């Protein structure tokens, strides 16, 4: 049953809380010291960016399974670090991801560093509305040249936020691949908290054990 850390970041003291959340998630995921440090650094940089560029936001940290099952790849869990803000947005995402780019007079190492260190990194921003960033850190750096075909190039993700500050969310998500069949699941456990999380987690486990089946057959 996955634990979720939801950290509002509106002052510099919460940057440390985001880093500690990433360290706790890394321990649950079984990451070694080096990869734990990587997850902590990514969380720190992303939380700092929230303060510098968006006036604050939230960091959501949890442990997720690899999104696509493919032959030859391990299924070890990853630490997922997501940030959500309603700031000014980023007009030029490509420029923002370059090392040295800054609009605040800082070193400009944040987003570029995170994209380079994370196994998987994605950013979506709408000027005037805000930005969502998702980074995943696993036990070993992934080889990004792996390309299992059109189905393997499909990208998906989710930000799972517990209700009312609970440690566990009653919702869950997963996606699996078997050949060219890709199945995406959104599971809503009845209620919220640990009992609902048990139900939605069971649904995810059933899907991951039945990647070859159509959704109605799972």
SS3 113: helix
pLDDT tens digits, one per residue of 101-158: 554 444 345 788 899 999 989 999 999 999 999 999 999 775 554 444 444 566 777 7
Answer yes or no: do 203 and 120 share one domain.
no
Answer yes or no: do 77 and 33 share one domain.
yes
What is the Cα–Cα distance from 18 to 64, expressed in whole angstroms? Answer: 17
Answer yes or no: do 190 and 85 share one domain.
no
pLDDT tens digits, one per residue of 47-90: 999 999 899 999 999 998 765 554 445 568 899 999 999 999 98
CATH number at residue 26: 3.30.565.10
Asked, for residue 199, whether it belongs to a domain, the answer is yes
Task: Give me the helices (H) in the chain, please.
Answer: 13-29, 33-49, 93-96, 110-117, 194-208
Asked, for residue 92, whether it belongs to a domain, the answer is yes
Asked, for residue 201, whether it belongs to a domain, the answer is yes
What is the Cα–Cα distance from 143 to 94, expressed in whole angstroms? Answer: 22
Asked, for residue 186, whether it belongs to a domain, the answer is yes
Answer yes or no: do 93 and 133 share one domain.
yes
**82 φ, ψ to 5°?**
-120, 140
Asked, for residue 177, whether it belongs to a domain, the answer is yes
Asked, for residue 155, whether it belongs to a domain, the answer is no
What is the pLDDT at residue 153?
A: 60
Domain residues for the domain of 205 are 162-217
Answer yes or no: do 18 and 87 share one domain.
yes
The pTM score is: 0.76
Percent of the chain with pLDDT over 90: 43
Answer yes or no: do 102 and 41 share one domain.
yes
């Amino acid at each position: 049953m996955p634990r979720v850390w939801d950290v509002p970041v509106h002052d510099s003291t919460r940057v440390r809380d985001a880093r500690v959340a990433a360290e706790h998630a890394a321990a649950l995921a079984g990451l070694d010291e080096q990869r734990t440090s990587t997850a902590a650094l990514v969380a720190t940089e992303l939380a700092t960016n929230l303060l510098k560029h968006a006036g604050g936001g939230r960091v959501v940290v949890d442990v997720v399974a690899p999104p696509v099952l493919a032959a030859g790849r391990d299924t070890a869990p990853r630490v997922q670090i997501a940030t959500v803000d309603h700031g000014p947005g980023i007009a030029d995402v490509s420029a923002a991801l370059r090392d040295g780019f800054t609009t605040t007079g800082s070193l400009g190492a944040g987003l570029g560093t995170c994209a380079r260190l994370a196994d998987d990194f994605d950013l979506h921003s709408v000027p005037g509305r805000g930005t969502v960033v998702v980074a995943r850190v696993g036990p070993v750096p992934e080889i990004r040249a792996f390309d299992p075909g059109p189905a393997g190039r499909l990208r998906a993700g989710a930000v799972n936020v517990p209700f009312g500050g609970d440690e566990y969310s009653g919702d869950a998500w997963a996606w699996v691949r078997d050949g060219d069949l890709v199945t995406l699941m959104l599971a809503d456990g009845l209620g919220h908290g640990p009992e609902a999380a048990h139900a939605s987690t069971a649904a995810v486990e059933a899907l991951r054990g039945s990647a070859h089946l159509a959704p109605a057959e799972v």
